[in-house]
Amino acid sequence: MKNTKSSMLSKALLLIASALLFTSIFFPLWRIELAAPQYPEGLVLQLHADKLAGNVDIINGLNHYIGMKTLHAENFFEFSVLKYIFIGFALLGLLCLFVGKKKGLYAFFISYIVFVILAALDFYRWNYNYGHDLNPDAAIKVPGMSYQPPLLGYKQLLNFGAYSIPDIGGWMLTAAGLLLFIAVLREANFLNIFRKRNINAAMILLVSIPLFSCTSYEPKPIKLNVDSCDFCKMTISNSKFSGELITVKGRVYKFDDVSCMIKYAKANTNVNYKVLYVNDYLKENKFIEVEKGFYLKGGTISAPMGGNLIVFSSNEEAAQYQTKLKAQPSTWKEIYNSY
């Protein structure tokens, strides 16, 4: 890396990446959040470079009942080496900075990527073993059930929703990897290809953002006579009156009645939801965002839990049923405020 303006920027990126790698050892790298009705504030397991933190004792107590091994930092050799690996990467980054050789930068980046892949595989192995290697004498046994947490994202485990996501230190490591990647692209003159073709780099970034998104906010089909309402706990046998609440982390809560969904949202203010859906009265499992629906309320409408309201995709369809059902048109705001 010669002392050109471009290479000076690459060195700055390398310096910041090294600082992030070193600083990450002081923050939790990963977190597994557990949400259930009996724990309205949720439970958290945080993985640092050298220890476990969060609600470890409570989670260990729950694990004992279902036959999972309890979690103790001394049982994981990773906690004895991870901190030193990150320090080593940080020092290696500084060495590349002062040596100033492109090959050194490339080797550093490749080594880091290989480490991330191996760490992900090791984390998956850890999750798999703890979720499948169960004590046959456990107090609670569900035939065929395993309790493997997700590697990344959300998974339902009995009545617990488990979220596996990076924590502060994990985002630092991610940022370090991205900065190294940009530095490699600059030193390889890869970005010049886009400049020569007059492609706006910002546009490339905007287009690529959805590719890195792993959270879905799309509604999930309701399985009749299988799924239960997350508010009243009744089995959902008719989807015409149903609704779904999707949290910012992508967890889906299902309801047999729109009134149940509203009551749940108001009673559980700690649940940070991204979007609410209601089912089109005329189409099974056809969900509409609540603000886009056309509502009828009262009259002869008979919803499962007394909500007595239905929704349509168009105003014309709602008008056709208004007289038939002796109902009154309404808006989502009016309905939400009535509970």
pLDDT tens, the chain, 339 aa long: 555 555 788 889 999 999 999 999 999 999 999 888 777 678 999 999 999 999 999 999 888 888 888 899 898 999 999 999 999 999 999 999 888 788 899 999 999 999 999 999 999 999 898 888 888 888 887 777 788 888 888 888 877 888 899 999 999 999 999 999 999 988 887 655 555 555 455 444 444 444 444 556 889 999 888 888 989 988 898 889 999 999 887 888 999 999 999 999 998 887 888 999 999 999 988 999 999 999 999 999 988 888 889 999 999 999 999 999 999 999 999 999 988
- 273 and 126 in a single domain? The answer is no
Residue 55 sits in a domain of what CATH number?
A: 1.20.140
> 159 and 14, same structural domain?
yes
Per-residue model confidence (pLDDT) at position 311: 94
Alpha-carbon gap, residue 244 to 167, rounded angstroms: 28
Same domain for 263 and 162: no
Residues 293 and 248 in one domain: yes
149 and 249 in a single domain? The answer is no
Does residue 298 lie within any of the structural domains? yes
Distance CA 256, CA 266 (A): 16
272 and 202 part of one domain = no
Cα distances (Å, whole numbers) of residue 253 to 33, 77, 115, 123, 215: 16, 38, 37, 28, 15
CA dist., res. 138 & res. 231, Å (int): 29
178 within domain boundaries: yes
**137, 64: one domain:** yes
Domain that holds residue 86: 5-212
pLDDT at 204: 46
Distance between start and end Cα atoms, the chain: 65
164 with 276, same domain: the answer is no
- Beta-carbon neighbour count of residue 45 at 10 Å? 22
pLDDT of residue 149: 86
As a whole number of angstroms, the distance between CA 215 and CA 153 comes to 7
Q: Is residue 93 domain-shared with residue 199, that is, in the same domain?
A: yes
C-alpha–C-alpha distance, residues 275 and 289, integer Å:
7
Last residue of a domain, one of 194, 212, 230: 212
Q: Is 293:258 a contact under the CB 8 Å cutoff?
A: no
CA gyration radius for the chain?
26
pTM of the model: 0.63
pLDDT of residue 214: 52
- 290 domain residue, yes or no: yes
The answer to whether residue 318 sits within a structural domain is yes
